Each structure stands twice: as C-alpha cells, then as structure tokens.
Amino acid sequence: MSINRRQILRAAGQGIVAIGAQTGLGLSAALAADKEPEEEKKKSTLVSNVEEFGRGSTRVAVLLPNIDGPYRFAADAVLRGVMAAHATDGRGVRVKVVRIEDPAFPDASEVYRQMQRDRISMVIGPLIRSEVNGLSAIDQLPIPTLGLNLPDQGQQIPGNCTLFSLAVEFDGRSAARYAFAEAYQRVGSMRAPWALTISNTSELSQRSAAAFTEAWQANGGQVDQPIVRDVQTYDEMTQLLAGVRADVVFAALDAEVMRTIRPAFAASLPIYGTSQLNVGALPTVAKAELLAAPELDGVRVVEMPWQLQPDHPAVAAYTRSRRLPNLEMQRLYAFGIDAWRLSRALMKQADDGLTGTPFTLDGVTGQLYLDANQDPRVLRESVLGVYRQGILQPAYASGPGGYEQAPAGGSSPRRP
C-alpha cells in the first residue's frame, strides 16, 4: 500500500488541536490531553510528574499549567527544554516545578508568597496567556519573573517582570525586514518598494500580517490594499491578484493553501511567510524527502535556528528530544531551552549589579535582545529559510557566532 504526503501529514496531526489563540505562542497547533487516545495515555512518557530537579543553593521555580489540563503536552515540551538546558548549564541550581490549577491564575499572590517562603530567587513562567493576565493584579512581583507569553492588550505588565514569547508578531516583523532588504536591492533607491499582504480570516493570520505591514512601513516601504480572505483555489487567487503590482508578497497562510495557489504568482515574485509555511521537510528531520514540497520552491519562510540550522553553535549544544517528533512540540522544546538561558542571563545581571543592562543572546529560537529599561519584552529575530527541491533550507550561510550571512552582493536585515 502506498502512502502519499497528505496521508503522512494527516497522520502526524492526529490528536492535535489548535491552542494558538489561548497560548499566544504563535503556534498553529499543540497536543491536548482530551484528544489523546486512551491507549496512548497509558504509554505516556510525559515529564509532568517531575516536581524538582537539580541540586544547589540557588532556587528557581517554573510555573506551568495543571498536568491534567488541556495544555499538558505544551507544558511538557517546554519543561523538557528547560531540563535539557539545565543539564548543560544548571550547576548549583535547584528547580521546583509549580503547577497552576486555574488558567485564570486567581491565586497568583498566594503562589508568590509561597515561593518567597521557599526562597525562590527566579521564576520562569507562566506559560498560558490567561495565566500571564493573572499576574496583572500584582503591581510589583516580589521575585524576578520571566513570563513565557504576552498578556492581552490593555493588561498591566507588573514590575520586576520580563516577557518572552513566540508570538506571531515577531515572525511577521522578521519577514518584513528580510523582504525589505531584498526588495530594496531589486528596485534601488529610485522609489519605495511595494508589498502585498495576504491573510485569512483567523486572528493569528491577521496578527502576523499586521506586524509585517507595520515593520515594512517603518522601513520606508509602501503597501497595497491587503487581501483578507479564506482563499482555497488557484482560480480565486488569480482573480484577486488581477491588477495588483507588488515587489514582494507576505502570505500569512498555511502550507497546504500555499501549495494550491502558488502557480497564481509570477515565478520571479518573492513570497515570504512564517512557520505556517513549514511542511516539516527540514535539514533537521530524518527522511525529510518524504515531506518535500517542490510546489513551494523559492518561497521564503522565517523560522527558528532550532528547525533550520542544526550546525548553529547554540543549536548543536543541545540534544533533540525523540519524544517530541511534532514540529510544534519541537518549537516549544526550543522555547524552553531559551527560557532557561534567558533566566540565567537575568540572574547573572542581578548578581553583577547590572540589572536592566541591554543584552543580546544568540538563541536556538532566534537572536534575542532585551533592553528592560525600554521594553520588558524580549525581542526575537528569526532566521530565513527558502524552499529548494522541496526542502526548507537556510537562505544564508551561517557565519561566526551563528549569525546568518547574506550571499555575495546581498544584505541581511538589521538586527533589533
């Protein structure tokens, strides 16, 4: 019996439900407990029952969702990443895993009081957006905290809190900077380059398109009237593109839709997108050719080094978890690694009396930059990939320190 690529993707997606709107992580899907078959639950290899690990006088707490809730697989992937990073750089640090029972986190103040009694010196988490919202009731957190999400718009960010996330907005901005660098090279300084954004009616798609537009215009580019529609067919896309002139296209669409409508675009027109366009055919995936998507050749995709650059110095320092074959879980695993590394950097700053000093971290999720005096959010710059022979490969060769280098005559986007 032959198995085609669609069947492979469908099988890989069984038991997966969307949680992007709640987590705000910029992920298209993650495993949820209530969708896992009963026989698979019995074989579960989650590390959810871990309560403490490491030894030492310095104590760190990781705030994660309830192990019986719908986010247990996401929490498991993040915790695995934290543990992997701790194994590499955790000497002298004891970690306590604290579970949040209610996603609204109404007892945040009491949880922090208990962590103070436990002599916790650094907190990593919460993970879910609603849990981060729960921190807004506290004006000043009593323990330095690295939140793993962004709160809803309008929610207060407490003092003593830094925020790190995989929000789709960062990838939209990264795509705009890469696209502008390419478009500027093509059109020169005689006129401003034009971009067209295409999104569907989902919130995540529109958020990434809006972030692209904002960054594109900040660089001096012009934008055409955006297309916001649940396009499904080549003919429909061809009609929507009639009369449109653009130097680049940003497509906030998933890979299957893009495979269908790709022929509607001129072969020479640069198309950019986020990790939604990643079909899983990666240099880091064994037998990637089984998932190859030659229909997407030439399409540019912003992704994290963890997925695209196995030889990146930071990526090579950590082993991959064979328990997490799903791409979204691998992203959360990498997220956990960088969360630990960021927490260590913040703790070192405090020990050295340099709290608030801007710093950059060459992360497995991208180039990370924090200037807490200006913005409590960690800025993240993804790397650029391009489809060649159906495989998503790094667009630029890796340079010293893991920074991507533009090809001869080209230019990389500016760093944050």
Distance, in Å, from the CA atom of 122 to the CA atom of 115, rounded to the nearest integer, reads 9
pLDDT at 259 over 60: yes
Give the pLDDT confidence of 8-37 residue by residue, as tens digits. 333 333 333 333 444 444 443 343 333 333
Q: What is the pLDDT of residue 20?
A: 45
Closest CA to 164 of 408, 292, 353, 342: 342
- CB atoms near residue 346 (< 10 Å): 20
Residue 89 token pair: 């750089």
Over residues 324-351, the mean pLDDT reads: 94
Say if CB 307 and CB 331 are below 8 A apart: yes
Over residues 104-128, the mean pLDDT reads: 97
Where in 287-390 does DSSP place strands (E)? Answer: 300-303, 359-362, 367-370, 379-381, 383-388
Report the DSSP beta bridge partners of residue 300. Answer: 272, 386
Q: Any idea what DSSP says for residue 71? A: T
Say if strands 300-303 and 383-388 run parallel, antiparallel, or are unpaired: antiparallel
Q: What is the pLDDT of residue 4?
A: 43
Closest CA to 27 of 18, 15, 38: 18
- Range from 16-25, 316-325, 356-365 carrying the lowest mean pLDDT: 16-25
- Phi-psi region at 342: left, alpha or beta (left = phi > 0; alpha = psi -120 to 50): alpha
- CA 69-73-75 angle, to 5 degrees, is 80
* Displacement of CA 269 from its chain's centroid (Å): 26
Closest CA to 166 of 408, 364, 390, 389: 364
Q: What is the pLDDT of residue 5?
A: 39
CA atoms within 13 A on the CB side of 53: 15
Prior bond of 283 cis (ω within 30°): no
Say if strands 16-17 and 30-31 run parallel, antiparallel, or are unpaired: antiparallel
Give the pLDDT confidence of 135-178 residue by residue, as tens digits. 999 999 999 999 999 999 889 999 999 999 999 999 999 999 99
Q: Give the percent of the chain with pLDDT over 90.
A: 75
Say if CB 386 and CB 298 are below 8 A apart: yes
